[in-house]
Amino acid sequence: MALFTLADLHLSFGTDKPMDVFGGRWIGYEKKIKEYWEYLVRPEDVVVIPGDISWGMTLEEATPDLAFIHALPGKKYLMKGNHDLWWSSLKKLEELKEREGFDSLFFLQNNAVLEEGKILCGSRGWMCEDKMTEADEKVLRRESLRFGMSLDAAEKLADEEERKTGSRPEIICFSHYPVVTPAQRENPVLAVLKEHRIKRVYFGHLHNWDDKPLIEEWEGIRFSLVSSDFVTFTPVRIEP
């Protein structure tokens, strides 16, 4: 059994949003995702998808994309990205899951799960740029609270597992947005991660990385970009 992650699938089976307009690497990307996923991921494995899953504007439009993901091997944990406008309340998502029989899909939102001896948690995050509006700062602070809720849930799971086994599992965090950028190396989300002594964060969102240097490590935290086009549409294995 293994853990994988892959962000920014940007599927559009239920709406007309071709991705090849963003460059040749996106030509035939759905086929690439399916082929590489099926080659690497086994039915007993777990895959975390940190946002930008579907271009659908509604649950109805996103359903074909969720069906595509459900048909792929493994247990999948979905997170919300900035383009996931179809993402509704957890109640409605669970109702859709039950109605469509998507029993391989689960949702990470203000919670945490224990899988493969690791605790998985996180939130969407928000932009960290050099010119932040007051509204952006407010959203970023709100997201730091959501990270805190998820990490508090993760700590409780870690406590329970440590009591049962005598060993404390690592907490691995996922974010749709990058947490640290050259413009902002200190922000409320990072402060929460440091408070909980997180060592690994996997994130997506970035597609024009060629002209924006990536910060891969900062203050003891390793940050890994797993946008699908950055990793050639291949699920990234999370090492033990």
Predicted confidence (pLDDT) per residue in 168-205, tens digit:
999 999 999 999 988 778 899 999 999 999 999 999 99
**Does pLDDT of 212 surpass 80?**
no
- Strand, helix or coil at 207? coil
Instruction: Give the pLDDT confidence score for residue 175 in this predicted structure.
Output: 98
Q: Record the pTM.
A: 0.95
Predicted confidence (pLDDT) per residue in 54-66, tens digit:
999 999 999 999 9
- Strand extents, DSSP E, the chain: 3-5, 46-50, 75-79, 105-107, 112-115, 118-123, 170-175, 200-203, 217-218, 221-225, 236-238
Instruction: Give the pLDDT confidence score for residue 154 in this predicted structure.
Output: 98
Q: Please count the other Cβ atoms lying within 10 Å of the Cβ belonging to residue 176.
A: 27
Q: Which domains does the chain have, with CATH numbers?
A: 3-238 (3.60.21.10)
